[in-house]
Amino acid sequence: MLRTILITLLGPMLWGTTYAVFTETLPVSHPLLTGAMRALPAGLILLALNPRIPPVAALLRHAAIGFSNIGFFFALLFIAAARLPGGLAATLMAIQPLVVTLISAWLIGRAAHPVQILAGIAGVIGVGLMVLSPEARPDPIGVAAAIGGALSMAMATVLIDRWGRMGTPLETTTWQLILGGAMLFPVALAFEGLPPAPGLTQLLGYSWLMLVGTALAYYVWTRGIGRLGPSAVYLALASPVVATAIGAFALGEWFNAWQWAGMVLVIGATAVGVSLGRRE
């Protein structure tokens, strides 16, 4: 079980690099296209490793997961990243464990443990202590995108748990990336058009997001949900921790007392949430 948790944790840790890679190397003016370019090529690369087309019934379920977890979520994620300070976006996204706990109780009849709900609240508070600053100026569209993204990914987490065993984790990851990316790509072209030709820095940024931050990260995440259940979402709290650490390192600063307290809360909330909700 510990090995599965640690492997699954790798996914959110890699996601924690997304904000820095996006804002420092990629065209911030094209958030939708960045989301599509992150997903579709990653899915095609995984398809080359496992060239199999699932039955139509499975494809329809993969499409539902792909829309919620990739197409819609990536669009909202990068809109939030483009319009909000990273700390505020991370704090709003940290409501995912709470949402997953409630959706699981409603959709698949898995009653929420009261301590898990408290752990989810503690996780949000911990992320807020780590990353929020008094200078943060919330943009209404960015706030709505961040909350919508958290809700979308939370729904996808429950659907992966409910439907994930219709194929291998690699197959589920492959087709949610392909179908979700294919949904987002024409929308991105219609609203944003093509960005300028990418230079070396942008190519490196896209490569990192596609290969490491998406293909690898989403594979270990999907695999983990299948083994740990929806409570694996508490591990997603590691993403803002990594994002904050990257920011602190880039600025040559270290955590203050409030940030350390926030980290302790996040780690505690993650441990409690996963341990109470793990599969038998």
- Please give the pLDDT value at position 252: 63
In this prediction the pTM is 0.85
- Please give the pLDDT value at position 104: 72
Q: Which stretches in the chain have pLDDT values below 70?
A: 85-88, 105-112, 131-137, 164-165, 250-255, 277-280
- Please give the pLDDT value at position 277: 58
Cβ atoms within 10 Å, residue 98 = 22
Count how many domains the chain has: 1
| Tokens standing for residue 135 | 């200078």
- Please give the pLDDT value at position 133: 65
Residue matched to tokens 């997903």: 39
- Please give the pLDDT value at position 280: 41
What's the domain range around 182? 2-277
Encode pLDDT of 136-193 as tens digits.
567 889 889 988 998 998 888 888 877 766 778 899 999 999 999 999 999 999 999 8
DSSP-assigned letters across all residues of 65-111: HHIIIIIHHHHHHHHHHHHS-HHHHHHHHTTHHHHHHHHHHHHS--P
Q: Give the list of residues 6+ apart from residue 127 with CB closer than 8 angstroms, or none.
A: 90, 91, 94, 237, 240, 241, 262, 266
Length of the chain: 280
CA distance 178 to 182: 6
| Tokens standing for residue 36 | 């599509």
Encode pLDDT of 68-84 as tens digits.
999 999 999 889 888 87
